[in-house]
Amino acid sequence: MFDLESIFAYPRIVKTTVDIPENELQDAIKFARAKTKREAILAALTDYNRRQRMAELVKFSGTSDTLLGNAAIESLDAACLGKRKSVPRNRGQKP
C-alpha cells in the first residue's frame, strides 16, 4: 500500500533508509545546529552539493577573456569603498 499523503504532499522528496553511524549523525546535528536528524542530513547534502558545484566552477577559473580577474575586482572594490567614504551619510537625520 502506498502512503498517498506523502506522494501528493511532497512530490520531489525521496524517502530512503540509510545506515549512518550515530556519532557522525550527532556531529552533523551539532554542526548544522539542526533540531532533527532530517534537518542535519539535508544541511549536509546541501553543503556537499554546493561545494561540488563550486569545484566545478573553479575548473573554469581564468579561462574567460570577458570576465574580470581577481586584481580587477579588488581594484573596483577599492574604488567603490573610496567613493562610499567620501559621500556624507544621513544617519537617521532628516535633511
Could you tell me the mean pLDDT of each successive run of 10 residues in the chain, 95 residues long?
54 83 96 94 93 88 75 88 62 57
Which sign does the torsion angle of CA 35, 36, 40, 45 carry?
A: negative
81 located within any domain: no
93 located within any domain: no
Predicted pLDDT at 68: 76
Q: State the pTM of this model.
A: 0.53
Total domains present in the chain: 1
Question: Residue 47 carries which side chain, given as an amino acid letter?
Answer: D
Contact indicator for 34, 40 with CB cutoff of 8 Å: yes
23 located within any domain: yes
For residue 60, give the C-alpha cell: 573554469
Q: Which domain holds residue 5?
A: 1-61
15 located within any domain: yes
73 located within any domain: no
Predicted pLDDT at 45: 93
Predicted pLDDT at 43: 94
As a residue count, the chain comes to 95
27 located within any domain: yes
For residue 75, give the C-alpha cell: 581594484
